[in-house]
């Protein structure tokens, strides 16, 4: 099987592991920057400019967000702490998209105060923000196309999704906004997750463009932008191919010229809010083998757990595994496990990898999105550090590991 790229040589990674101690996630700044440039360039035809609002939940580290800001990205936030993170790195005003759901009033108030673009999830939220916050000058709605769009494996059918407006509510919502004097409008949808078929994103654009044209005709509303959401997948498996961004972009461009321009909406911006494809492939969880055991099966036990990377246990996600320095070793089929008292704490089940011994360094690939971010403290496992591999080869610690004191920080021992 083809091997996947590492961020640097195996020797260097061994050295970093020795110096910093495992486990840690390490992110490749150079690759993140190159990918961001490529992504934005693919959409350089968009009148008024294309912007990706990085879905902060994928990798909520300010050092990474700053790099992405540098490359021209905004932030897609869904909670107050994410809004605060964005502000901390200097992402402000309409460079922030607030795409939340089941949102508390104070978070809407804060987002509106910050001048973020507020993306409402339901028609009832118009009254909600009017009552508890205010209706901002620019409002965006999240559309759920229901049975007009097939879902994908990871996200399910749109009709079952908790997100977004129905078609009828969407039209009614824009009518109400117009009546209330709102002057600036956006339209959003997000129906895929980790989707590798490029056609899917062109189809999504068609659905959204058609609605934009319909709302323009019915209510004379000129959308400033449409937000095509995130969901661009990444090649987790060595045999997967990345989404061809130029194919997606050119497909959307043709639709834009066929529908948006003739409808008098020329100049409407296109934005996205991708997270996974921005950082996912450029993060690696570096761990050490602690134990081997051979019982009814073979098990290779690591010093990382699903608390460091939940995706395999949560939805059987594939993450490629490289054992450093063992390219020539004999291969065996084993389960690669963590130490939680949870039998599904496994990074791989029945996976063929080179024979690994205690002390070997194991690299788990594609952890740059929803890796550290999904971390948790079950079994009192402490979350790991995060390192940044700088373009000049230097290493920067961008988050220290948690300590026992951090774990106890919310407890009050004085009232025992
Ligand atoms: C998670 C999420 C994204 C990002 O999805 P990716 O699959 O990481 O691109 C974008 N928008 C919303 C509303 C989301 O919930």
pLDDT at 159: 81
CA distance 381 to 372: 13
Cβ–Cβ < 8 Å for 255, 206: yes
Residues in the chain: 416
- Work out the pLDDT band at 153, boundaries 50, 70, 90: low
- Report, as an integer, the average pLDDT of 162-169: 92
Q: Evaluate the omega torsion of the peptide bond into residue 404 and state whether it is cis, within 30 degrees of 0.
A: no
- pLDDT for the residue 192: 85
Residues 323-351 have a mean pLDDT of 97
pLDDT tens by residue, 353-399: 999 999 999 999 999 999 999 999 999 999 999 999 999 999 999 99
Tokens encoding 386? 């995060």
Q: Which residue spans within 180-261 are E strands per DSSP?
A: 184-189, 223-227
d(CA 99, ligand 1 centre) in Å? 9
Q: Does 43 have pLDDT greater than 70?
A: yes
Q: Is ligand 1 within 6 A of the CB of residue 231? A: yes
Vertex 224 angle, CA 223 and 230, to 5°: 95
pLDDT in tens, 270-305: 999 999 999 999 999 999 999 999 999 999 999 999
Residues 92-150: tens digit of each pLDDT? 999 999 999 899 999 999 999 999 999 999 999 999 999 999 999 999 999 999 877 77
pLDDT, average across residues 256-266: 97
Average pLDDT over residues 313-332: 96
Contact call for residues 324 and 370 (beta carbons, < 8 A): no
Mean pLDDT of 264-273: 97
**Residue of 237, 375, 236, 380 lying closest to 306 (CA atoms):** 375
Please state the rounded mean pLDDT for residues 248-252: 98
pLDDT band per the 50, 70, 90 thresholds, residue 191? confident
Q: What is the pLDDT of residue 255?
A: 98
Residues 226-245 have a mean pLDDT of 97
CA 290, distance to chain mean position in Å, is 31
Give the pLDDT of residue 78: 96
Q: Which atom of ligand 1 is nearest to the CA of 276?
A: 8
pLDDT at res. 116: 98
Q: Tell me how far the alpha carbon of residue 174 lies from the centroid of ligand 1, in angstroms.
A: 24
Q: How confident is the model at residue 215 (pLDDT cuts 50, 70, 90)?
A: very high
In the numeric block, the tokens 């090649």 are attached to 235
Active site residues: 341
303 close to 340: Cβ distance less than 8 angstroms:
no
> What pLDDT does 154 receive?
66
β-pairing, 346-354 with 395-399? unpaired
Ligand 1 atom closest to Cα of 277? 9
Report how far ligand 1's centroid is from the alpha carbon of 58 (Å).
8
Q: With 90 as the cut, is the pLDDT of residue 161 above it?
A: no
Q: Could you give all domains of the chain from N- to C-terminal order, each with its CATH number?
A: 10-26+281-407 (2.40.37.10), 29-278 (3.20.20.10)
Rounded to the nearest integer, the mean pLDDT of the chain is 96
Give the separation between CA 386 and CA 397, rounded to whole angstroms.
6
Determine the residue of 39, 53, 58 to mutate for testing ligand 1's pocket, defined as the one with the most ligand atoms within 8 A of the Cβ atom: 58
pLDDT in tens, 406-415: 999 999 999 9
- When pLDDT is averaged across residues 36-57 and rounded to a whole number, the result is 97
Ligand 1 mutation target, pool 57, 163, 204, 232, most atoms within 8 A of CB: 57
Residue 155 clears pLDDT 70, i.e. is over it: no
Distance, CA of 177 to CA of 351 (rounded, Å): 54
Asked if 209 and 263 count as a contact pair (C-beta separation under 8 A), the reply is no
User: Ligand 1 within 6 A of 58 CB?
Assistant: yes
Beta-bridge partners for 299:
293, 335
- For residue 355, report the distance from its CA to the centre of ligand 1, in Å: 37
Percent of the chain exceeding pLDDT 70 equals 98
Closest-lying ligand 1 atom to the alpha carbon of residue 119 = 13
- pLDDT of 60 reads 98
Q: For ligand 1, what atom is nearest to the CA of residue 58? A: 8
pLDDT at 156: 72
User: Distance from the CA of 11 to the center of ligand 1, in angstroms?
Assistant: 35
**CB–CB of 248/272 below 8 Å?**
no
């Amino acid at each position: 099987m083809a091997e996947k790229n590492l961020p640097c040589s195996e020797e260097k990674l061994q050295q970093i592991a020795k110096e910093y101690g495992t486990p840690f996630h390490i992110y490749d700044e150079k690759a993140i920057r190159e990918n961001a440039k490529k992504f934005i360039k693919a959409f350089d035809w968009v009148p008024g400019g294309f912007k990706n609002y990085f879905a902060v939940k994928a990798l909520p580290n300010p050092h990474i967000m700053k790099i992405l800001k540098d490359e021209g990205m905004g932030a897609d936030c869904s909670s107050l702490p994410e809004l605060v993170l964005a502000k901390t790195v200097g992402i402000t005003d309409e460079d922030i998209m607030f795409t939340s759901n089941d949102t508390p009033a104070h978070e809407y108030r804060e987002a509106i105060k910050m001048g973020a673009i507020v993306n409402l999830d339901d028609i009832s939220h118009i009254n909600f923000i009017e009552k508890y916050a205010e209706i901002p000058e620019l409002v965006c709605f999240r559309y759920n196309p229901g049975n007009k769009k097939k879902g994908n494996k990871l996200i399910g059918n749109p009709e079952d999704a908790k997100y977004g407006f129905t078609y009828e509510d969407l039209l009614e919502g824009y009518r109400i906004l117009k009546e209330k004097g709102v002057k600036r409008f956006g339209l959003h949808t997000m129906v895929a997750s980790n989707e590798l078929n490029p056609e899917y994103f062109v189809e999504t654009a068609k659905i959204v463009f058609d609605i934009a044209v319909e709302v323009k005709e019915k209510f004379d509303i000129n959308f400033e932008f449409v937000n095509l959401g995130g969901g661009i997948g990444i090649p987790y498996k060595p045999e997967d191919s990345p989404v061809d961004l130029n194919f997606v972009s050119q497909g959307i461009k043709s639709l834009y010229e066929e529908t948006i321009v003739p409808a008098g909406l020329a100049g409407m911006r296109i934005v996205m809010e991708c997270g996974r494809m921005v950082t996912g492939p450029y993060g690696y969880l570096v761990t050490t083998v602690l134990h081997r055991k051979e019982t009814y099966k073979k098990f290779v036990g690591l010093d990382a757990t699903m608390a460091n990377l939940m995706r395999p246990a949560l939805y059987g996600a594939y993450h490629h595994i490289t054992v450093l320095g063992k390219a020539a070793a004999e291969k065996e089929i084993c389960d690669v496990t963590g130490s939680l008292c949870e039998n599904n704490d496994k990074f791989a089940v029945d996976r063929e990898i080179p024979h690994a011994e205690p002390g070997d360094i194991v690299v788990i690939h594609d952890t740059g999105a929803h890796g550290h971010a999904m971390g948790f403290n079950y079994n009192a496992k402490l979350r790991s550090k995060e390192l940044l591999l700088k373009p000049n080869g230097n290493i920067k610690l961008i988050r220290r590991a948690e300590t026992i004191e951090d774990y106890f920080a919310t407890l009050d021992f004085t009232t025992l």
